[in-house]
Chain A
Amino acid sequence: MTREERFEAEALPHLRALYGTAYRMTRNAHDAEDLVQETFLRAFRSFDRYQPGTNIRAWLFTILHRARTDSFRRHARSPQTVELTGDGPAVPPAQEALAAAGEDIVRAMEALPEVFRTAVVLRDLEDFSYDEIARILEVPIGTVMSRIHRGRALIRVALARRPA
């Protein structure tokens, strides 16, 4: 098996998950595809550094996140970061918020600042552990916990504000 075949056999099965996350990060198909292509190219170039048998999925997501950060750097932007203080506006009871339609939930998630959205997507859609997310995003575990907490709280606020 050539290096290329090994890479394709191990990495390509994760294309759908990577694309899904790329799409949630960039919020459009074109940028998501670019990001996925860049991720696979980078991964292929550094495939020698990947240790077989370790978590290739987390490794690929780490590369995806780095590629995303670099594209921000190239465009001299940074993912929007907001520090929230206080408890914010009153939130609806859990059951009421959860009664929202699927599209409202998607809209609320997409409206999140990217740092929170990425953390929520990695946890709630891709089921990564806090440890894995910390490695993917290259931040401490406490930060992962804060971002997921803030992200979910913001979704709840957005659902409260949705037009009836």
Chain B
Amino acid sequence: MSTPAPCDGRRVTAYVDGALRPEARLEVEAHLAHCPLCRDQEAFERGLRERLHGLAAPDVPLGLEDRVRRRLRRRPAPAFVRWLPVAAVLALAVLWGRGAAPFVAWELTRDHFHCFGQERLPAQVWTSDAGEIAAWYREHGTELPLVPSSAGGLELVGGRFCPLLDRRVAHLYYEGDKRRLSLYVVPGPARFARAFQIRVRGENVRLMRTGGITVALISEDLQTVDAFNRALSVSVARAAAR
């Protein structure tokens, strides 16, 4: 008679799960026949499997399937879309670099809104005196044309440099009687004939040359723009006559 095999709980588990080869299965069955301890393990594991099977599955969160579908459909954008912002910046840089007048007007208007839209003007120099502000800009490397201290009821308030793409642009602020005007001294090229005028977002933008320098005037009030245009032309003519 052969010696009974020793208890091997792992093999009983595999037996319960039907994972043994026929030969091993017969050996386990022979062992179970005379081992109450292993029979108890077998009974427990079979019973446990049944109990676990009977457990309610956790509820799938509401909408999970939709969320999975949405994530699967969230494709990376095609290459040309991903490069669009880069292309846009390059196109702007080219337009600006070539001084396309409408683009210059548009870009300056954006800055005009940016400055006057703030609670306090972001001026770097505060003065109502044209000579004083010209001296400040000269110290900082920019020659202003002969700008007026006041025109059309508006007075000089101050100024600053604003960086627009690759250029530093002198920006002078005029205010008065609930009106406002920006005077920009535009360095570099600006392509237009004698003068260029356009309306951008409700503002009148005029590009003009005075004393060989390109100036942009921006105001919501066309008469104010005209007044500054005249004041600049007159002062330049006077200077030339001297």
A residues adjacent to B (C-beta < 8 A): 4, 7-8, 12, 15-16, 19-20, 23-24, 29, 32-33, 36-37, 40-41, 44, 93-95, 97-98, 102, 105-106, 109, 120, 123-125, 129-130, 141, 145-146, 148-149, 152-153, 155-156
Contacts and interface: CB of A to CB of B under 8 A. Distances in A.
Interface of B: 9-10, 12-14, 17, 19, 40-41, 43-45, 47-49, 51-55, 57-58, 60-61, 64-65, 67-69, 71-73
23 contacts: A15-B64, A15-B65, A16-B57, A16-B60, A19-B60, A19-B61, A20-B57, A24-B58, A41-B71, A93-B40, A94-B43, A109-B52, A125-B53, A129-B19, A130-B19, A145-B19, A146-B10, A149-B13, A152-B48, A153-B9, A155-B48, A156-B44, A156-B48
A61 to B, nearest CB: 15
Nearest to B70: A37
Contacts of A41: 71-72
Contacts of A4: 72-73
Q: Top 3 A-B pairs ranked by shortest CB distance?
A: A94-B44, A149-B13, A98-B47
A32 B58 CA distance: 10
B57 A149 contact: no
Contacts of A29: 58, 61
A40 B60 contact: no
Contacts of B54: 102
A90 to B, nearest CB: 12
